[in-house]
């Protein structure tokens, strides 16, 4: 079985045991509503035919229309999409959005395609799935390898079949029915959750030492937020390499530098740093914000951080999770820590349906409130049940989905 699928099911069953869910209910909750697999064939710029495979897994709709990202990456396959769709069901429930969970993707490396080819792939994918998605059914959003431009093409193609329907997809450009604050939302949410975790442990955020893996959408906005809160980002890695400065890295300057340099490597005034060194760094907070599966049984022993905030999806494997628990590392799980993105996607959908635009201040205050309230719910549940935060988050999310399923009837 796919590694990430196995790990997620392990976390599911820990929570299901606490909720006393029957075997039949577990099977019902884990079985996706619908798995869509389609051919996506386009003509490339050189006139050749190229055929790709596109997926959309609609996992659960008991709490509302299904919601989840669209990923363009060579590693996309049916198992990965199912894992991520299931994670979305628990995530939307943890932050109590009126949504179920879904995920989709095309198995393709977008860096090998021209803008025109990317547009044709997106439009072709919409041609194949438009009847099965929509504002009241399933609403895609950006994920790895896709962005606001891809969402704009998605929206435009969907509207050729269904008329004006901006709420059919979120993460659109602000100039085309997108929401203020959507781009920064996941990183900002990670920042607010980090601040809440430190506050709960009576540790000031000012001067807290932080190591971050990834300086893309999530990592860069999280770094900016934490820098503004006067935390010290001392270590950072990305695809180009890593940097270390015990006095704290100047994030505004790094943002400018990374734009032209293409990444963080060789940022002046810093030593270089590997991923392994970053994960084992002597810091207060470790934030993996790049890839899944980076903490394993092999390297979890070396973690010296007191708090680990899962900004990426699935960065900690279950055996690593046990090691971190034994070392008293506080792990804040992905389904809570990175839920800021789907939360502002929800605000975008609401604005599209109301034909009324919110300003950035309003988006931020509503996001901060949802993140703070959700953190408190999970924190209280963890204290009450004497379980780690991950188990508490799964108990909260799965419990809500199970109750909605039971109340709705089968």
| Structure-derived torsion over alpha carbons of residues 150, 153, 158, 159, reported in degrees to the nearest 10 | 140
Closest CB to ligand NAD among 62 and 313?
A: 313
The minimum distance between CB 263 and ligand NAD, in angstroms, equals 6
61 noted as active-site residue: no
The span from the CA of 96 to the CA of 366, in Å, is 13
The span from the CA of 356 to the CA of 352, in Å, is 7
Closest CB to ligand NAD among 236 and 381?
A: 236
| C-alpha to C-alpha distances, 144 to 74, 75, 290, 291, 409, nearest whole angstrom | 11, 11, 10, 10, 36
The minimum distance between CB 337 and ligand NAD, in angstroms, equals 9
Which residues does 47 contact at the CB level (< 8 Å), separation at least 6? none
Q: Write out the two tokens for 289.
A: 């914000």
| Structure-derived torsion over alpha carbons of residues 20, 24, 28, 29, reported in degrees to the nearest 10 | 20
Catalytic residue chosen out of the listed positions 61, 67, 91, 103? 103
Phi, then psi, of 69 in degrees rounded to 5: -75, 170
Closest CB to ligand NAD among 54 and 288?
A: 288
Question: Which residues are at the interface with ligand NAD (CB under 6 A)?
Answer: 143-144, 186, 213-219, 237-239, 263, 275, 289-292, 311-313, 338, 341
Closest CB to ligand NAD among 73 and 304?
A: 73
DSSP-H helix ranges across 263-339: 275-279, 318-326, 334-337
Q: Write out the two tokens for 82.
A: 């199912």
The minimum distance between CB 215 and ligand NAD, in angstroms, equals 4
Closest CB to ligand NAD among 21 and 218?
A: 218
The minimum distance between CB 332 and ligand NAD, in angstroms, equals 13
The minimum distance between CB 164 and ligand NAD, in angstroms, equals 26
Residue whose C-beta lies closest to ligand NAD? 216
Catalytic residues: 103
């Amino acid at each position: 079985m796919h590694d990430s699928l196995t790990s997620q099911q392990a976390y599911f069953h820990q929570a299901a045991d606490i909720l006393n869910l029957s075997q039949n209910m577990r099977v019902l909750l884990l079985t996706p509503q619908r798995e869509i697999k389609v051919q996506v064939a386009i003509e490339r710029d050189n006139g050749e035919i190229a055929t790709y495979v596109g997926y959309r897994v609609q996992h659960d709709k008991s709490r509302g229309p299904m919601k989840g990202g669209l990923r363009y990456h060579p590693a996309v396959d049916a198992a990965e999409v199912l894992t991520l769709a299931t994670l979305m069901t628990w995530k939307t429930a943890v932050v109590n959005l009126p949504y179920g969970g879904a995920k989709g993707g095309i198995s393709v490396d977008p860096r090998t395609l021209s803008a025109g080819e990317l547009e044709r792939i997106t439009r072709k994918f919409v041609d194949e799935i438009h009847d099965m998605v929509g504002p009241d059914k399933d609403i895609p959003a950006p994920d790895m390898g896709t962005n606001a431009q891809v969402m704009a093409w998605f929206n435009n193609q969907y509207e050729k079949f269904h008329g004006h329907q901006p709420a059919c997809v979120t993460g659109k450009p602000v100039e085309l029915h997108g929401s203020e604050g959507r781009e920064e939302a996941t990183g900002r949410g990670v920042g607010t959750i980090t601040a809440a975790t430190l506050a709960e442990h009576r540790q000031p955020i000012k001067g807290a030492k932080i190591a971050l893996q990834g300086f893309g959408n999530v990592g860069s906005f999280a770094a900016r937020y934490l820098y503004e809160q006067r935390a010290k980002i001392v270590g950072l890695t990305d695809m180009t390499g890593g940097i270390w400065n015990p006095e704290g890295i100047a994030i505004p300057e790094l943002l400018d530098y990374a734009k032209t340099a293409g990444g963080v490597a060789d940022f002046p005034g810093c030593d270089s740093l590997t991923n392994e060194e970053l994960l084992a760094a002597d810091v207060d907070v470790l934030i993996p914000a790049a890839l899944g599966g980076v903490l394993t049984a092999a390297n979890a022993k070396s973690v010296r951080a007191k708090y680990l905030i899962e900004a990426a999806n699935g960065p900690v494997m279950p055996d690593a999770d046990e090691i971190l628990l034994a070392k008293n590392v506080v792990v804040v799980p992905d389904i809570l820590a990175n839920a800021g993105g789907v939360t502002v996607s929800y605000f975008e959908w609401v604005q599209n349906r109301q034909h009324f635009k919110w300003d950035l201040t309003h988006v931020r205050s509503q996001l901060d409130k949802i993140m703070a309230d959700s953190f408190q719910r999970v924190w209280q549940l963890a204290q009450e049940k004497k379980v780690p935060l991950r188990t508490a988050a799964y108990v909260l999310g799965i419990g809500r989905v199970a109750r909605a399923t039971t109340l709705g009837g089968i």
